Homo-oligomer: A and B are copies of this chain.
Amino acid sequence: MRSLRITLAYDGGSFAGWQFQPNQRTVQGVVEDAIFQITQERVRVQGSGRTDAGVHALGQVASVELNNGLPAERLCLALNSVLPDDVSLIDVSDAPPRFHACRDAIKKRYRYQIDNGKRANVFLRRYRWHHGQTLDVKLMHEASQSLVGRHDFRSFETAGSERTDTVRTVSDMVVHRDERDGSQVNVEVEADGFLYNMVRTIVGTLCWVGHGRKPPSWVGDVLGALDRRKAGTTAPPHGLFLVHVYYPREVLEFQPPENASGS
């Protein structure tokens, strides 16, 4: 038995999210089917976290234990050859025994993409939330900085979650216009963990500042209120990308023992 770390991209538009659900097309289900097709092993793939229906990934990470002895790169090629065209494995690497993509993650980076052109760009409509009214990106960035640091983020968590610990540390937050196409706005957030719909609620809230409906200082007030009803709307899923999941060096630099890959 060996542990593997799988890094993958997917277009979430035609998936009912990451997590397996019977009779639904999910990323987890599709990856598990591909693994079965190549290795004849029926296994559970563990994601670094769930992504909701419609949310995309540039670098989701999953862990899995397999008996199959193929070198990791060959397994990657074989799996890509049977995966549908909206899922693509970026990398498959051997990982330390009992590597767990969710438990071992140190932090994650998300990007939320906004199309701020006057007319919605037809080629970006699947991957960007359209706002025809010009956003004041400088004010949004200023407002966002009150969220950086260790805080209780329950104002930005959609009700219904069972999580009781709502304290997270946001290590980076940037709101900026694309250098090449000034009508495109991106919001980037890096944290040690995220509450349910946290990025989408932060983005919806920052847009109220960007439209001039609220001043930048209001975002800090929302954070302090510890009350979801004080925040703005939740931005739709199709603008959200899981960009990167960070792991400790011992996971990334792990070298499997020689000939250890056999079953």
Contact = CB atoms under 8 A, between A and B. Distances in A.
B180 A120 contact: no
Contact of A127 (B80, B119, B123): B123
Copies in the complex: 2
A86 B119 contact: no
A122 B9 contact: yes
Contacts of A127: 123
Contacts of A90: 119
Interface in A105-160: 119-123, 125, 127
A122 B80 contact: no
A80 B125 contact: no
Interface residues of A, number: 19
A166 to B, nearest CB: 32
Contact of A10 (B85, B87, B120, B122): B122
Contact of A119 (B80, B120, B180): B80
Contacts of A186: none
Contacts of A85: 120, 122, 125
Given A80-B119, A119-B80, A180-B180, A86 B10 contact: no
A11 interface: yes
16 contacts: A9-B123, A10-B122, A11-B123, A11-B125, A80-B119, A85-B120, A85-B125, A86-B122, A86-B125, A87-B122, A88-B119, A88-B120, A88-B121, A88-B122, A89-B119, A123-B127
